[in-house]
């Protein structure tokens, strides 16, 4: 199992940075893949961009470039934490499905994700990647919560 990589979900948020740092501290040395997902550009987004700018809007290529920069920063942070890290960028309409697909492709030993600590109605409205992964990933999941308050 030590040769199988850990998959670290990284979007540049403070929760993702905390998860990355925690993974480096608590998981045995193993390769790490830092994943960031781009979402496809919807027809509605293209239409709105065209109406306001008179030309094509945010392209998928631009989103992937932006996401790649975020993933690259995540790899730099992971390496600074002592991890042997590489980046992975994919496109997925549903984030949890994209994460599970990449984890399956890599045969990841564990998926690492930060949690915003949402509860109740807010979790239902905004969604919870960690909750969806716990249900669907079929492999170990390290969910790093926000720091305790008070």
pLDDT in tens, 62-74: 788 889 999 999 9
Rounded Cα distance between 77 and 71, Å, is 10
Rounded Cα distance between 71 and 87, Å, is 6
Instruction: Please check whether residue 120 is in contact with residue 16, taking contact to mean a CB–CB distance below 8 angstroms.
Output: no
Rounded Cα distance between 29 and 21, Å, is 13
* Sole residue written with tokens 């496809």: 40
CATH of the domain spanning 6-144? 3.40.50.620
- Give the pTM: 0.83
Query: How many percent of the chain have pLDDT more than 70?
Result: 79
* Sole residue written with tokens 């989103």: 63
Displacement of CA 42 from its chain's centroid (Å)? 20
Beta bridge partners of 114: 144
- What does the pLDDT average to over 36-65? 69
Q: In what order do the strands lie in the sheet with 141-144?
A: 84-91, 31-38, 6-9, 110-114, 141-144
- Per-residue pLDDT, 54: 55
- What does the pLDDT average to over 111-116? 91
Rounded Cα distance between 85 and 79, Å, is 6
Rounded Cα distance between 88 and 111, Å, is 14
Rounded Cα distance between 55 and 62, Å, is 15
């Amino acid at each position: 199992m030590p040769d199988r990589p850990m998959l670290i979900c990284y979007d540049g948020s403070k929760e993702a940075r905390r998860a990355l740092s925690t993974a480096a501290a608590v998981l045995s040395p193993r390769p790490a893949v830092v994943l960031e997902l781009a979402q496809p550009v919807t027809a509605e987004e293209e239409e709105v961009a065209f109406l306001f700018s008179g030309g094509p809007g945010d392209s998928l290529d631009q989103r992937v470039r932006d996401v790649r920069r975020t993933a690259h920063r995540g790899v730099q942070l992971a390496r600074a934490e002592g991890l042997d890290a590489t980046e992975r960028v994919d496109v997925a309409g549903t984030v949890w499905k994209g994460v599970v697909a990449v984890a399956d492709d890599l045969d990841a030993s564990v998926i690492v994700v930060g949690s915003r600590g949402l509860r109740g109605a807010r979790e239902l409205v905004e969604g919870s990647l960690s909750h969806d992964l716990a249900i669907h990933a079929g492999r170990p999941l390290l969910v790093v919560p926000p720091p305790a308050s008070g």
